[in-house]
Structure 1
């Protein structure tokens, strides 16, 4: 038996969230004495794969055919199912992102396996199998017991962290048998934003809301983000009004993130927004309204004019970095 980890291949690179899944799986394997196996789909350099061995992965199944570079969830589900059967996996881990949310439930149905999304920590016990997950948009934790032979989980980003545990890594070619066309769609053009720090990988995020009053005022947040090496984000009204790119929208209807530090500037703190950022280790709120709901979930709060506070913070951070 084994623990199978789905490794997200992003244009030939492996991101932090996949390394965290390896660390999580390795911690489980130390308790269960099971092998940690990774599934990687699509073309990728061997040097990139070898990084996984630093975090406890001892074997990789590589479905590296170029035809799989186009992500098709129904096809990836078939590949994952065959990998589970090939490795006799009892536990299957996916990232808690759009890809994991699309493939894990499909695989759960095909395998008749229990599925627990938004897992917050290692299992509380293995017999019976009980694990805690986020509930009520992050306001509570629920302990879930899974009784099926196979169990699928999507641990949340930053819920466990990176823990190096180097082992010898073996890479094997995996040739799944797909009984349908890999894709019925043709990609005519693809545009990728390569500027800034990816939100999903950012340790610090600086986010703004309608309280900044105009699109040009987000230059203040960009300056703050640059001073501390942070990614930028925004609330839904800001994205809807076209002040910021749609891919910066965080919240229940946007991206769910879990950075170490989340700066919420001029954001009221509607429940839909908080749902997407409640996994943050520390929330710092800056708002002129002392009664804004964001202060109810913030670890630190600054009540005042963001147009005065943010430049002062940027100057302080720049000075701090210069003195290091």
Structure 2
């Protein structure tokens, strides 16, 4: 059976959820081979093996931590040439898409970014994407070289599938460009106790209707009752009510959670582009003609300052 490379997204061996989703998708195409770069393969190996990785190609070098992107590209290129995989899967995101683009160029291959599903096809993997601000769904396949595909978080379930997970050393020769961009400092982001926005299964977002930074406490309280991440529209971010790192939309982050709750958000195309692939969308808005209701599965025409507290209390009561 053909092998499929999966780049492992981890923090010192703590494997992040999007990688486990990629392993689920990789099993549809062949036998998953995880590529673990940097420290912590001992901690990561049992998790990767438990989710379908038949082999784990591991390389640890200071370049992966000290320099930006290119060392990972060097390593993934070495893995691709050694394995000759049916596809290479990476998590979508700024770094993942840059690695994918550089790798595809080196391999002379096509690339598909921000896929929301992958299935096996007679002539290679077929990827599903949301195009033109999620107004259309496309199905595409790569016709040249080894398919390189990045996949949005929450596009596939995490499924346990025990496999050997044999750890093998990956030999990597770093090119001249590997040390071109050096990481000179790292600042640890203060933990908010909430899920990462792009990976969260539930996102609660606020927009212009929240009417001030102090009122985002309502959004946060509802989010915490659901174990959700907090998002914000561009209008709210531009007004200085919430950090840009939490912006959902075309110029912010793209999310695809199981549940998206939009509060006081009109649903302009800029915002829809970042959340329209959410599985279930709930909207709260005083304007019954707001565009957000066009794509919502459930809508409440009402004042969020009345609706959200009642909803939060009901959720807390049902959770005991």
| TM-score, reference length from structure 1 | 0.92
What corresponds to 1:102 in structure 2? 98
CA 1:222–1:130 in 2, change beyond 3 Å: closer, same or farther? Answer: closer
CA 1:303–1:208 in 2, change beyond 3 Å: closer, same or farther? Answer: same
> Whole-Å Cα distance in 1 between the matches of residues 253 and 65 of structure 2?
23
What corresponds to 2:224 in structure 1? 226
Runs (4+) of structure 1 exceeding 6 A deviation are none
CA 1:200–1:131 in 2, change beyond 3 Å: closer, same or farther? Answer: closer
State whether structure 2 residue 188 is matched by structure 1 residue 191.
Answer: yes
> Whole-Å Cα distance in 2 between the matches of residues 25 and 254 of structure 1?
28
State whether structure 2 residue 250 is matched by structure 1 residue 249.
Answer: no
CA 1:294–1:21 in 2, change beyond 3 Å: closer, same or farther? Answer: same
> Whole-Å Cα distance in 1 between the matches of residues 41 and 166 of structure 2?
14
> Whole-Å Cα distance in 2 between the matches of residues 295 and 112 of structure 1?
44
Are the counterparts in 2 of residues 196 and 231 from structure 1 also a CA contact under 8 Å? Answer: no
What corresponds to 1:7 in structure 2? 8
- How many pairs align? 317
Query: 1:128: Cα distance to partner?
Result: 5.8
State whether structure 2 residue 183 is matched by structure 1 residue 182.
Answer: no
What corresponds to 2:199 in structure 1? 201
> Whole-Å Cα distance in 1 between the matches of residues 43 and 154 of structure 2?
25
Are the counterparts in 2 of residues 124 and 132 from structure 1 also a CA contact under 8 Å? Answer: no
State whether structure 2 residue 46 is matched by structure 1 residue 50.
Answer: yes
Unaligned runs of 5+ in 1: 30-34
State whether structure 2 residue 84 is matched by structure 1 residue 84.
Answer: no
What corresponds to 1:32 in structure 2? none
What corresponds to 2:235 in structure 1? 237
Are the counterparts in 2 of residues 43 and 66 from structure 1 also a CA contact under 8 Å? Answer: no
Secondary structure at 2:118 match in 1: coil
State whether structure 2 residue 74 is matched by structure 1 residue 74.
Answer: no
> Whole-Å Cα distance in 2 between the matches of residues 55 and 128 of structure 1?
23
| TM-score, reference length from structure 2 | 0.93
What corresponds to 2:154 in structure 1? 158
Query: 1:9: Cα distance to partner?
Result: 2.2
Secondary structure at 1:146 match in 2: coil
Query: 1:178: Cα distance to partner?
Result: 0.5
Secondary structure at 2:117 match in 1: coil
Are the counterparts in 1 of residues 226 and 315 from structure 2 also a CA contact under 8 Å? Answer: yes
CA 1:163–1:4 in 2, change beyond 3 Å: closer, same or farther? Answer: same
**Superposition CA RMSD, Å:** 1.7
What corresponds to 1:38 in structure 2? 34
Deviations 1:284-303 (A, max 9, x none): 11111111111111111111
What corresponds to 1:297 in structure 2? 295
Match of 2:271 among 267, 273, 288: 273
Deviates more, 1:47-56 or 1:275-284: 47-56
Unaligned runs of 5+ in 2: none
What corresponds to 1:144 in structure 2? 140
Are the counterparts in 2 of residues 15 and 201 from structure 1 also a CA contact under 8 Å? Answer: no
Deviates more, 1:129-138 or 1:261-270: 129-138
Are the counterparts in 1 of residues 28 and 119 from structure 2 also a CA contact under 8 Å? Answer: no
Deviations 1:23-59 (A, max 9, x none): 1101221xxxxx3211111112512332011111111
Match of 2:209 among 176, 196, 211: 211
Are the counterparts in 1 of residues 63 and 71 from structure 2 also a CA contact under 8 Å? Answer: no
> Whole-Å Cα distance in 2 between the matches of residues 125 and 48 of structure 1?
31
What corresponds to 2:309 in structure 1? 311
State whether structure 2 residue 121 is matched by structure 1 residue 120.
Answer: no
Query: 1:71: Cα distance to partner?
Result: 5.4
